[in-house]
Amino acid sequence: MKYLYGGVLILILGFVVAAAEHHLNVTSEKSTETIEFQAEKNIPLNAAETHGVPTEFLANTNKEYVSPLTSEQIKEPYLEQFEVLQADALEEISSLIKIVYEDYVTKKENDEPISYLYFYRNYYPKLKQLEEQINLSFTDMYKQLEQELIKQGYSAEKALPIKEQFEQTKKDHLKELMALVTNGF
């Protein structure tokens, strides 16, 4: 009798294990299919559709949606915005340089003394204000890009080359301006 109960118990355990394995295989197959289907349609993950499997096991917890986008695809529209910002900034700087140059020429034609201190006092604050506006616009767009990358499950560091390029471009244009000033226009 003791052996009979042991045999029945082993059979029952075998059925339970087999049923559990079957259930887990079916669940994982369905979960995978759900994720692939959702990735195609960019549908938010829903606990009811994951058959009780916690979403942290199915997708990165930083994602609201399963995204088929690469980090480069995410950055692309922002790169266009940064290029527009750069073009606008160069246009505004050129406009300011034109005003400074016209003031310089007017002073020279009127035989007025050319004082670099005068130009510094009058135009440097305007240049700094313009730089602050450009930096603020860039920072806002850059933060949006970082947030979008994080939302899609990427590291914010993926945006770092854009920031480095912005800083380098700014340095290059500052060198050009300084060369223009030191050469006396």
DSSP string, 74-103: HHHHHHHHHHHHHHHHHHHHHHHHHHHHHH
Domain residue limits, the chain: 2-58, 71-182
Mean pLDDT of 47-65: 53
Three-class secondary structure of residue 20 per DSSP: helix
Q: What is the pLDDT of residues 73-114, one digit of tens each?
A: 999 999 999 999 999 998 998 898 899 889 999 999 999 988
Residue with tokens 């075998």: 14
- Tell me the residue type at 86: Q
Q: What six digits make up the tokens of 71?
A: 């980090």
Residue 128 is encoded by which pair of tokens? 């700094």
Mean pLDDT across 51-74? 64
- 20 pLDDT band (50/70/90 cuts)? low
What are the pLDDT digits (tens) for 130-141?
999 999 999 999
Q: What is the largest CA-CA distance in the chain?
A: 123
SS3 at position 65: strand
**Whole-number Cα distances in Å, 89 to 58, 100, 138, 154, 176:** 44, 16, 11, 30, 14
- Please give the pLDDT value at position 28: 46
Instruction: Read off the pLDDT of residues 166-185 as tens digits, 9 standing for 90 and up.
Output: 999 889 888 887 787 677 65
pLDDT at position 178, please?
Answer: 78
Of residues 24 and 172, the one with the higher pLDDT is 172
CB 39 within 8 A of CB 126: no
Mean pLDDT estimate for the chain: 76
Query: What does the pLDDT average to over 150-167?
Result: 92
Q: If you write DSSP's letter for every residue of 120-168 in order, what string do you get?
A: HHHHHHHHHHHHHHHHHHHHHHHHHHHHHHHHTT--GGGGHHHHHHHHH
Distance (Å, whole) CA 31 – CA 14: 25
Query: Six-digit token pair at 62?
Result: 């930083």
pTM: 0.58
| More confident of the two residues 153 and 22 | 153
